[in-house]
Chain A
Amino acid sequence: MSSPRFPIPQGTLDMLILQILALEPAHGYGIAQRLEQISKSVVQVNQGSLYPALHRLEQKEWLQSEWKQSETGREAKFYALTRTGRKQLAVEKDSWARLTGAVQLIFNEGSK
């Protein structure tokens, strides 16, 4: 259980946020909880860096936000993916897959 946790790779947080929001709109805390689940097992997410990332993505118009009532009854800022955000997610997933594929190929080559 207590295997060492990796810092999340540069630029990956944005992709993860986009991925989480692709399922349904969520507020910052909700996203943090989902990240928490992932991070518990493998990577380490500084929750403080979550908000700059959210605002950056909103600035790029990949996310849009709206104040809505949350499950606890309080108003919370909900983020949702925009059309360009969805496109961006596809692009990033694709390049991620190609990168890991390539890395895998090299590993395979090396272990032959």
Chain B
Amino acid sequence: MKQLLNWFRRRGLEGGLDRELQYHFDRRVADFVASGLTEPEARRQATLELGGPAQVREEVRDVWLTQWLRDFAYDLRFSLRSFQRSPSFTATALLSLALGIGATTAIYSLVDQVLLHALPVREPERLVLVDWKGDQVANGFGSYNLMSYPICMDLQQQDRVFEGVLCRAATTVNLSTGGDYKPAAAEIVSGSYFTVLGVGASLGRVLGNDDDRAFGADPVVVLAYDFWRTQLASDPNVVGRKVLVNQHPMTVAGVAAAEFRGIDVGEVPSLWIPASMSAKAIPGFGQLLDRRTRWMQVLGRLRPDMTLARAQTGLEPWFRAMRDEDTRRAGFPTITAERRQRYFASTLELTPAPQGHSSLRRRLSQPLWVLLAATAVLLGLACLNVAGLFLARGSARGREISTRLALGASRGRIGRQLLADSMLLALAGGALGAALAPLAIRGLIAFLPRDAAPNALEASIDWRLLSFAFLTSVAAGVLSGFAPALHAGRSSLMSSLRERGDSAFGGVRLRKAIVTLQIAFTLVLVIGAALFVRTLTELMAKGPGFATSSLISFGIDPRRSGYSQENTGRLIRRIHDEVRNSPSTVTSGVARFQLLTGGSWNNPMTILANGRIATDRDVNENSITPGFLATLGARIVAGRDFDERDSRPEGEARPEGQAGYRSAIVNESFVKRYLAGRNVLGTLICEGSGPDAKPNIEIVGVVSDFSYRGIREESEQVFYPMFEGRGSGGNFYVRVRGTSESAAQTIRSIIRGADPALPVGYFRTLDEQVNRALNTERMLAALSGSFGIVALLLSLVGLYGVMAFVVTKRTREIGIRLALGATRTSALWLVLRDALMMITAGTALALPSVWALGRLIEAQLFGVKPTDAITIAGASLTLAAVALGAALIPAYRASKVNPTDALRFE
């Protein structure tokens, strides 16, 4: 190690050496001169004596460095040769390490890409997310950390804190670059977006503040580099061309820098649209300048000298004044005193956002850390396994090592040799692992959902990943070589030379400790796997609450193709009529919002039943056609399903200024939470919880519970009839006859017949949709399950190895025991007792850590507690049974020892 250090500070060492030699030389010359020689003669004499400074320097350098390197190269060559001699040992060890390092590298790659990687923008470390903590008294749509566009504009004035502020919202538009319309992911951004990030154009120009001046005045877009390359074949004349966004022509201003893929790693946009054009990007959206509509994420770039804490206090006066002013603004809703208090108690929170903003990160960060921890345990297990193998080989090589010691090799030298062995093995394993990692990463990425917006995740190996794999390999090498090296350094020369096969029990103790640790690690992984697998099976058993077989869904959004509200309703009715009457359809229904996507339409509500009840949390809402509930197979528990009575006939306008619904159906959870024991049918409800809410919608039915946002959730839901109030959406649910493929074909031709230019947003079976909704759980269960199995295998090999070793070492002892009248069963028991002790000790080590780690994964579980006794007992028993099975083979061999042979062995 010291020599390695020397390499880094050799300039300093060289300087010192020169001074030292110069001093010697000068003194010598002075002495010679004093004794009567002439100066030149004295110099010649001194040089002669010293043997030339260059040569001395060379020799000293040797001392510092090359000796060690030569030794190391020798060690490596020696290791290589010894590995060639024992290919099966090498293959086993190599595979264990490659598996461990490959898995860790693959998971780390995702952790890095999703959680850690900074955006490829100018000084990303100065970016912060600005978030409103508290009640904004605003309607929201979008994912998380939402604020209004005017607030973003206000924040841009805070130039003592920020160098610049941007806001953005992700959406999907129907895009045509000349041919068919296709759904494309878009980012609606403030004009400051590219300037604040410091991202330039690779062609033409990016958006600037001039592109975001007046509402609706700036029909320009910037294309993403990848979109331009793949969809437009890198057309060099694209700047100035017109593209159609939801049927509105917009001019391409430029193509963004190649490496820039938006600020959300989970949703890569194909194009950027200025916020001033938001009404075109989101059909029917006119609330850009409304302070009570939150839909954008706000990111700021701090001034260079600004700290997070000072920025936060610096914004406080403006934030207070802004809220005061807001309450006096026209359009600020009438709210309760309590809600007002909550509004004023809000704070503005700044968090560092060098990685941008991503809801994928929010969803995956916990599962990914859990998986990284699991792979770390797995890698540790692999290292222990290799350490055990080395020890086994070490005892086989005992003679060789003793001979080398006897011939004068230092213990340090032998230890280093063994360390070189493991290091070489680990680096080779690491290289293999890194080569396999892209495959694993690709598999992992396949677990993630993919909609119109692709994610930016790649299965490529970059230098960050390579250095991670390298460091991991070095750590693995040290870890797996440490115990054997230490052991070699300690074992007594005399005893090992004298050894005949019954001493050297020090090695056994070390190996038992290693196996005990392995069992502990394995148990942690197996229990983790059992918990995640149970979570998945519980969720699958629970299901969405309706039968998914032969149920398909598809979505259209005519509003994005330029249809007005009325025409949208008309088109959906028309398509629905045709789908319903198609021979491949059993039943069908349409919903405004899609099921099982994680999102929903939700609001607090007010219920009029023996006085007003305001719901204590948001109720999930949807509007549906008659037949929708029946198509899903949901039961009507009380009252009735919607029918023609509930929808206004085509063409009849809804009453001005009202939501316009007259009837509603609620689910059982809603009844249980708010109306238990009351007469539900006929009760009046309405959206909103303020004093201005007027309950005027009558509950006409109660339906059984089924999932809306996701499988896990149990929520209160309210359904309104479609084509009545605001907004109709085109999410069709069709129970089909025959295969879903042939039905899909029929349906596609119906849509084409209705409007050939109308793109289909998605088309999938409900089985598929359920799978997508469970993909995080599936990833956790699949990965932790395979980790558990690999861990089991590794520790089995370890345990078997040690027990076989013990039996070989104790053959003579067992022989004597048998000769003295011990029974075969007692010989069996002799060996099994050892194994049992290791298993018990390992379990005792693992259980407290399971208890501690359980809290970390609690949020990921469903239907099972991290301390679930049955799971833990089951996993422990499985491990114990399998481990005992592995020990049984050597134990059986021990019981079959022939006393005569065993004694003749001596």
Contact = CB atoms under 8 A, between A and B. Distances in A.
**A and B form one complex:** yes
B60 A52 contact: yes
- In this complex, which of A52, A70, A76 has the most chain B Cβ atoms within 10 angstroms of its Cβ? A52
Given A28-B23, A28-B24, A55 B64 contact: yes
Contacts of B19: 75, 77
Contact of B23 (A46, A52, A76): A76
Contact of A47 (B3, B26, B50, B60): B50
Classify chain B: how many residues form its interface, as a range.
Answer: 20 to 34
A19 B17 CA distance: 23
A59 B64 contact: yes
B848 interface: no
Interface string B7-30: 000000000110111011011100
B577 interface: no
Given A55-B64, A77-B19, A29 B24 contact: yes
Interface string A52-90: 100110010000000000101011110000000000000
A77 B59 contact: no
A49 interface: yes
A48 B53 CA distance: 8
Given A29-B27, A76-B23, A47 B63 contact: no
Contacts of A18: none
A72 B2 CA distance: 33
Given A46-B51, A47-B51, A48-B51, A56 B23 contact: no
Contacts of A29: 23-24, 27-28
A51 B21 CA distance: 8
Contacts of A72: 27
Nearest to A27: B23
Contacts of B55: 48
A51 B64 contact: no
Contacts of A17: none
Contacts of A52: 56, 59-60, 62-63
Q: How large is the interface on A (under 10, 10 to 19, 20 to 34, 35 or more residues)?
A: 10 to 19
A32 interface: yes
B52 interface: yes
A86 to B, nearest CB: 20
A51 B52 contact: no
A59 B23 contact: no
Interface in A9-57: 27-29, 32, 46-49, 51-52, 55-56
A75 B63 CA distance: 24
Nearest to B6: A59
Given A48-B51, A48-B55, A51-B17, A32 B24 contact: yes
B49 interface: yes
B2 A59 contact: yes
Contacts of B28: 29
A46 B56 CA distance: 11
A38 to B, nearest CB: 15
Interface in B38-54: 49-52
Contacts of B51: 46-49
A54 to B, nearest CB: 8
Contacts of A55: 17, 60, 63-64
A51 B59 contact: yes
Given A29-B28, A77-B16, A48 B23 contact: no
Contact of A48 (B27, B52, B62): B52
Contacts of A46: 51
A47 B51 CA distance: 8
A75 B56 CA distance: 20
A65 B20 CA distance: 11
B16 to A, nearest CB: 7
Contacts of A77: 16, 19-20, 23
A76 B23 CA distance: 7
Nearest to A48: B51
A27 B26 CA distance: 13
B49 to A, nearest CB: 5
Counting chain A CB atoms within 10 Å of each CB, the highest count among B16, B59, B62 belongs to B59
B641 to A, nearest CB: 88
A59 B17 CA distance: 14
B850 to A, nearest CB: 45
A87 B26 CA distance: 34
| Among B20, B49, B56, residue most surrounded by chain A Cβ atoms (within 10 Å) | B20
A31 B277 CA distance: 87
A77 B59 CA distance: 18
A51 to B, nearest CB: 5
Contacts of B2: 59
B20 to A, nearest CB: 5
Contacts of A32: 24
A76 B17 CA distance: 11
Interface in B43-102: 49-52, 55-56, 59-60, 62-64
B69 to A, nearest CB: 14
B59 A49 contact: yes
Contacts of B20: 27-28, 51, 76-77
In the complex, which of the residues B23, B49, B60 has the most CB atoms of chain A within 10 Å of its own CB atom?
B23
Nearest to B3: A59
Contacts of B62: 52
Determine which residue in A47, A74, A76 has the highest number of CB atoms from chain B within 10 A of its CB, and name it. A47
7 contacts: A46-B51, A48-B49, A51-B24, A51-B56, A52-B62, A56-B63, A77-B19
Interface of B: 2-3, 16-17, 19-21, 23-24, 26-28, 49-52, 55-56, 59-60, 62-64
Given A29-B27, A47-B51, A51-B17, 11 more contacts: A27-B23, A46-B51, A47-B49, A48-B49, A48-B59, A55-B60, A74-B26, A76-B20, A76-B23, A77-B16, A77-B20
Which A-B residue pairs are the 3 nearest by beta carbons?
A48-B51, A52-B59, A29-B27
